[in-house]
Amino acid sequence: MSAQNTGYRLNQVASDLHIDQFQREEFWPAAYIAGHARHNVSHYLAVSSPIDCVSHGHLGLACTVEVNAAVTAAHEAFLAWRTWPAPKRGLVIKAIAQQVAAQKHALARLIVLEAGKIETEACGEVQEWIDLCDFALGQSRQLHGLVIASERESHNLLEQWHPLGVVGVITAFNFPIAVWAWNAMLALICGNAVVWKPSEKTPLCALACVHLVSQVLQQHGAPVGLLSVVQGDATVGQALVQNPLVPLVSATGSTRMGQAIAPQVAARFGRSLLELGGNNALIVAPSADLSLALPAIVFSAVGTCGQRCTSLRRLIVHHSLIEQVCQQLCQIYSTLVIGDPRDAATLVGPLIDGIALQNMKNKIEEAILDGGVLLTGGQVRVGVPVGHYVQPAIIQMPRQTRVMMEETFAPLLFVLSYRTLDEAIALNNAVPQGLSSAIFTQDQREAAIFISALGSDCGLANVNVGTSGAEIGGAFGGEKATGGGRESGSDAWKNYMRRSTNTINYGAQLPLAQGVDFKIKTE
């Protein structure tokens, strides 16, 4: 189906969002700082959709000047925002949720156009933003500390949490709204300001989000400098990382990116919150209910065209089931509708660009040289719009080889067999990354072992649920080369605050801790 007869385009979405700048399709702002657009027509890049590679227009690129201006405006806004009672800040977040809900489908369609996701996944991403607002609203009355028993008479020992200041957020193309929202909504409810550097592949999603939130901030009398966006390549991210007024940098992307960012932030004694690469495995045990396992495998492996950090890369199947599982997966893969994500029948949209496609081809070739057997897929899909469409691939491997140690950001699934649970867990853990993992089993003992300290070493360890599609209520993140960060739910809000321990003496004496006797003459 051609792009022309599948429905909406950018100007229609822009009209729904009431953003006139998008409708003109000329030069979009390089930055949006404290409610004002900043343009740069001398340094820009062409913005195109992965759906058909047709250019939307041109995006101005920010430089260090814009980054520093955004950080300065954010710091000034933070100084005022931190004085607002947290429940009052919560009312602003509530209003943001209402505005997002009203624009949910228009925002989802913008994600479809820029990231190439199918519309139901894009709607789910916007829903994550709404859900996170609900979570943050509740959290606004639960930013609690501790009262600790003091060893000294007439003393109180307390622990409080205070906002950090400016939070720098760097996000990737695959979740152009949700991951930023995880950070921004919690950072705002905690009393911080946010400067956002989005992927240059999905800049319009960022401009739309900041435009929407800025309107809400103005309506509620909140400082508009609380949220800014700076567009550009790695040099823009570098300026944000190195700015001493940014105590926390939250970055989502490749492991290599995290390895570059973390030392720079640490060198100035800042904090980094890293959500990096995944290389996720799913174990199919002998007792697995395949009516549950197969749909979970397929969604985890091909959802978002395999371009999630939680996408399934390695399938570890008990030897007694591997022939059946491979056969059924190949049959299901043959029915997948690949094409324009604006078509409601489509399940697999395009890869983000030609680099991703070539990388997938290279990994398939390397796996075959390692003894792998290509069971299905891997071919460029024809009969779809001009873009980077590919048939999701399954490769059965004789063992876990070097090609499987790296994350392939594409719908490429490696299949291995195992005989004992210990062997399967060892395969699960034998990669540098540690984000998501799963086991399908009806054996209570196997399930308990998998999520215990003896089992998966990943931040997410699921039972009878796939590797992809986490809820916002639980902290999201992974171990090892995934970076160790935690975002979204649980107590992730503490990442955006600083801890203060307070000792209060309400007595007439000055006893010292640990019974120290230090007598001095006061006369």
pLDDT digits (tens, 9 = 90+) for 305-334: 999 999 999 999 999 999 999 999 999 999
For 496, counting Cβ atoms within 10 Å of its Cβ (0-12 exposed, 13-18 middle, 19+ buried), the class is: buried
Single-letter amino acid, residue 72: T
Q: What is the pLDDT of residue 265?
A: 98
Model pLDDT for residues 21-77, shown as the tens digit of each residue: 555 556 788 999 998 989 887 788 888 899 999 887 888 999 999 999 999 999 999
Q: What is the pLDDT of residue 13?
A: 80
Burial string for 13-50 (b: 16+ CB within 10 Å, else e) reads: bbeebebebbeebeebbbbbbbbebbebeeebeebbbb
Q: Which residues are catalytic?
A: 275, 309
**CA distance linking residue 164 with residue 192, whole number of Å:** 6
Lowest mean pLDDT among 5-19, 84-98, 439-453: 5-19
Over residues 283-291, mean pLDDT:
98
Lowest mean pLDDT among 1-5, 30-34, 117-121, 392-396: 1-5
Q: What are the CA-CA distances from residue 445 to residues 287, 449, 451, 452, 462 (Å)?
A: 12, 6, 10, 11, 14
Residue 479 pLDDT > 70? yes
Asked if 127 and 108 touch (Cβ cutoff 8 Å), the reply is no
Q: CATH 3.40.309.10: which residues of the chain?
A: 280-471
Single-letter amino acid, residue 153: E
Mean pLDDT of the chain: 94
Single-letter amino acid, residue 366: E
- Find the distance separating the first CA and the last CA of the chain, reported in whole Å: 93
Q: What is the pLDDT of residue 322?
A: 97
Over residues 445-473, mean pLDDT:
97
**CA distance linking residue 199 with residue 173, whole number of Å:** 5
Over residues 509-522, mean pLDDT:
90
**CA distance linking residue 191 with residue 486, whole number of Å:** 19
Write the CATH number of the domain with boundaries 64-276+487-499.
Answer: 3.40.605.10
Q: Which two tokens stand for residue 437?
A: 């993992």
DSSP alpha helix (H) spans, 421-519: 421-429, 444-450
Asked if 497 and 143 touch (Cβ cutoff 8 Å), the reply is yes
Model pLDDT for residues 164-191, shown as the tens digit of each residue: 999 999 999 999 999 999 999 999 999 9
Residue 4 pLDDT > 80? no
CA-wise closest residue to 313 among 275, 351, 281: 281
Helix or strand holding residue 73 (H, E): helix 64-81
CATH fold label, 280-471: Aldehyde Dehydrogenase; Chain A, domain 2 (3.40.309)
- Per DSSP, the three-state class of 33 is strand
β partners of residue 229:
32, 196
Q: Where are the beta strands (DSSP E) in 380-429?
A: 393-396, 412-418
**CA distance linking residue 25 with residue 261, whole number of Å:** 34
Q: What percent of the chain has pLDDT over 70?
A: 96
Q: What is the pLDDT of residue 1?
A: 32
Over residues 468-487, mean pLDDT:
95
Q: What is the pLDDT of residue 9?
A: 76
β partners of residue 168:
195, 249
Q: CATH 3.40.605.10: which residues of the chain?
A: 64-276+487-499
Sign of CA dihedral 199, 204, 207, 211: negative
For 146, counting Cβ atoms within 10 Å of its Cβ (0-12 exposed, 13-18 middle, 19+ buried), the class is: exposed
Residue 3 pLDDT > 50? no
The backbone torsions φ and ψ at residue 317, rounded to the nearest 5 degrees and listed phi first, read -115, 135
**CA distance linking residue 520 with residue 522, whole number of Å:** 6
Residue that wins the pLDDT comparison between 230 and 43: 230
